[in-house]
Amino acid sequence: MTKQEFKSLYDRYFDAIRRYLFYRGADEEGATDLAQDVFLRVWEKQMALEPGREASLLYKMAGDLFVSRYRRQQVERSYVNQLVYEPDHLTPESAHEQAEMSARYEKALKEMNDHQRTVFLLSRMDGLKYHEIAQRLQLSVKAVEKRMNLALTYSRK
């Protein structure tokens, strides 16, 4: 793999891989680190990626790295997830309401299974359509619809 080929691959997929890792449950900084690790491995191993299939390999590598890091840093992750941001400009009542709502939202996201959370965040945060999510996650559109329906049903409860 030449430097130009690697740069092209990096430019095309880095942001998408980073967002995918963020939606899987990593914090923003952790998602960036993991995405960089994915591309570092591709470069170090000088992988020859088949055109049209490079995205699936990158997503697979990202998912594997995420699981591996999650297992190693479970204590750190639980600490980071407990941090709460409270802006200074809010009244005490609205700050309390916002913190309560944020905590319920975070709790609902944590309690959703991984598949539902990923589909939910790709749809709501990235604004992707179901067929785009299906293509990115290598699922059928019906599977994406079902996961989204389950995520919305769960979040309503």
96: domain CATH number is 1.10.10.10
Q: Which helix (H) or strand (E) holds 113?
A: none
The total number of structural domains in the chain stands at: 2
Rounded Cα gap, residues 33 and 98, in angstroms: 29
User: Token pair of 5, please?
Assistant: 């080929």
Domain range for 79 is: 1-83
pLDDT value of residue 15: 93
Q: What is the per-residue pLDDT across 28-62, written as a single tens digit (0 to 9) for each?
A: 888 899 999 999 998 888 887 777 788 888 999 99
Rounded Cα gap, residues 11 and 128, in angstroms: 19
Low-confidence ranges of the chain (pLDDT < 70): 26, 73, 75-81, 83-90
Rounded Cα gap, residues 51 and 62, in angstroms: 18
Shared domain for 95 and 55, answered yes or no, is no
pLDDT value of residue 45: 86
pLDDT value of residue 76: 63
pLDDT value of residue 144: 92
Q: How far is CA 48 from CA 10, 45, 154, in A?
A: 14, 9, 42
Shared domain for 25 and 98, answered yes or no, is no
